[in-house]
Chains A and B, each alone.
Chain A
Amino acid sequence: MHKEFVFAGFGGQGVLTAGMVLAYTGAAKDYDVTWIPSYGTEMRGGTANCTVKLSDEEIANPFYKRPDILVAMNKPSLLKFMDSVKKGGSIIVNSTIIHEMPEVEGVDIHMVPVSDIAAGLGNARSANLCALGAAVAVAEDIISIDDAADGISGYFTKIKDNGSNIAVLKAGYAAVKQPSADV
């Protein structure tokens, strides 16, 4: 079992943190884990991304190559990474700010208004965790939504009550599992 995730967006959208929560969750499940951020001039130019890999075997290459799951929080990130997504993989699109989705052959597209969902739950800054919940919904063979909720509690130890963060995570999960539900 091996899964490759890319979380990408503007600096400040929390993509590095979303990836870190996933990596933390994977490490707690005893998977081999790598998390590697975008780095260098790219990081200083306003866009950010990280690659997270979880595996039950040793992970060799920590860099993205053929992600199973892409979380695209903005349009430039979507355009940059969408063609690298593995056939049969998934793209979680932040449809709050990305309204048009180009065709990507052989890949499941999930339009999830993660910013709207997070704001609707009174926790606008946790849109990244909403996107993480959506990503978990297409990666349940390696990580469950309850694992991810535990991951949030374990990672954000300085936050006394992660209830609101976990509610947003689960709303993102539900938006993929029951796309017709009113969110």
Chain B
Amino acid sequence: MKQLMKGNHALAEAAIRAGCRFFAGYPITPQSEILEYFSWRMPEAGGSFAQTSSEIEGINQVLGAAAAGQRAITSSSGPGFTLKQEGISYMQSLEVPAVIVDVMRYGIGLGDIFYGQGDYFQATKGGGHGGYLLPVYAPSSVQENADLVALAFDTAEKYRSPVIVLSDAAIGQMCGSVELPEMKEFDIDRFEWALKGRDRHYPQGRTLTDRMYYDFGYDEYDKHERDRYDAMKENEQLWEEVQAEDAEVILVSYGISSRICKEAVKAARAEGLRLGLIRAITVWPFPTKAFQKYNGKASAYMTVEMSQMGQMAEDAFIAAHCQTPVYSMPTGRDVADSEDIIANVKDILAGRKEAF
């Protein structure tokens, strides 16, 4: 049965239904409703909720819970997401599966609580130290806030990797109809690798530390990491196409901006302009397979995102393989406007816009 829910609430409820039984985090706008929802719902579902004294404590509690085999989650926004990066890097070194939600807001430093999509680089390029990667899902609706957080847990466990859900203030604050997933429960002891007490197989108990030291003895480690990331790139790309097949110009976008792109595609088609859209659902791995279908065939790609300079534009440029030019339309603090998008597309076609 569908029901009307706020994006942040739908995400929290779907996480519970996906079997998540641990939350630790710290309030910050615009993600606070996630924490607020978990504060009553998590104990009701038999899980643990902690409002920690900082984001650093929150991410490390999640690391601990996940190391014991629990489905665990934390969420934040803006500067709070930055504070979690060291913990995410550690999680990836331990190969601990957990979900980190970033409800993006605008700006660097303190920034502001406006809508924004400026954390793309931080989320997709290994925001902590050492150069790790991890799957990043970018919901564009209340329904996807629910669907993708549930998928994020499955992907996390499939690869033993932390996974980011990169939502944004608009998707988190808006309400929409949502069909929630079925309730699932998991045995905390289902993983061979997870920390447990002493038993016949591990008389000293199990240790979980940076896998480089003992499991790979350094030498095989780089190859192991490369193989993991290659498998994610091969298997986990998700995207939606809107009338891209015959498009002269293909918009490339994600999250809240992609919704405006959909409006632009419809409006452009109504006036005979063949516009299409590739909407990235995974922003890492970036959906390069979608580009392979249209490189050299479409006249141009144009990325639309809320950042000061293009961020996703760089990934689109790489994916276009110099076969189709890429243009960038970063809208900064403003949500894109479909008429501006169409005007930019016309500028591309008339040779008036500079390529990225």
Contact = CB atoms under 8 A, between A and B. Distances in A.
Interface stretch (A57-65, A107-115, A123-131, A165-173): A57-65
B347 interface: no
Main secondary structure of the interface of B (DSSP, over half): mixed
B176 A40 contact: no
Contact of A62 (B114, B169, B174): B174
A134 to B, nearest CB: 22
Interface in A1-37: 20, 23-24, 27, 30, 32-37
A27 B114 contact: no
Given A23-B4, A27-B4, A33-B177, A40 B338 contact: no
Nearest to B339: A65
Given A60-B259, A63-B335, A34 B114 contact: no
A145 B96 CA distance: 53
A36 B173 CA distance: 7
Interface in B63-114: 112-114
A62 B177 CA distance: 13
A33 B141 CA distance: 11
A35 B175 contact: yes
Interface in A40-66: 40-41, 58, 60-63, 65
B114 A60 contact: no
B326 to A, nearest CB: 23
Interface in B297-342: 335, 338
B175 A33 contact: yes
A167 to B, nearest CB: 24
B260 interface: yes
Contact of B260 (A27, A30, A60): A60
A34 B174 contact: yes
A145 to B, nearest CB: 20
Scoring A27, A34, A60 by chain B CB atoms within 10 A of each residue's CB, the highest score goes to A60
Interface in B1-38: 2-4, 30
Contact of A27 (B115, B177, B263): B177
B153 to A, nearest CB: 26
Contacts of A39: 30, 113-115, 169, 173
B274 interface: no
B3 A60 contact: no
B175 A20 contact: yes
Contacts of B338: 61, 65
B196 interface: no
Nearest to A53: B176
B255 to A, nearest CB: 12
Nearest to A38: B173
Contacts of B41: none
Contact of B112 (A30, A40, A63): A40
Nearest to A31: B177
A36 B3 contact: no
Contacts of B173: 36-37, 39
A60 B174 contact: no
Interface string B255-272: 000011111001000000
Contacts of A32: 176-177
B174 A35 contact: yes
Given A20-B175, A63-B335, A36 B170 contact: yes
Contact of A60 (B2, B30, B266): B266
Contacts of A60: 259-263, 266
A23 B262 CA distance: 21
A23 B178 CA distance: 12
Interface in B217-238: none
Nearest to A24: B4
B355 to A, nearest CB: 27
B170 A62 contact: yes
Given A39-B115, A58-B262, 11 more contacts: A20-B175, A23-B175, A32-B176, A33-B176, A33-B177, A34-B174, A34-B175, A34-B176, A35-B174, A39-B169, A40-B112
| 7 closest residue pairs by CB, A with B | A60-B262, A35-B175, A60-B263, A27-B4, A36-B174, A61-B263, A27-B177
Interface of B: 2-4, 30, 112-115, 169-170, 173-177, 259-263, 266, 335, 338
27 contacts: A20-B4, A20-B175, A27-B3, A27-B4, A27-B177, A30-B2, A32-B176, A32-B177, A33-B175, A33-B177, A34-B174, A36-B170, A36-B174, A36-B175, A37-B173, A37-B174, A39-B113, A39-B114, A39-B169, A40-B115, A41-B113, A60-B259, A60-B261, A60-B266, A61-B260, A61-B338, A62-B176
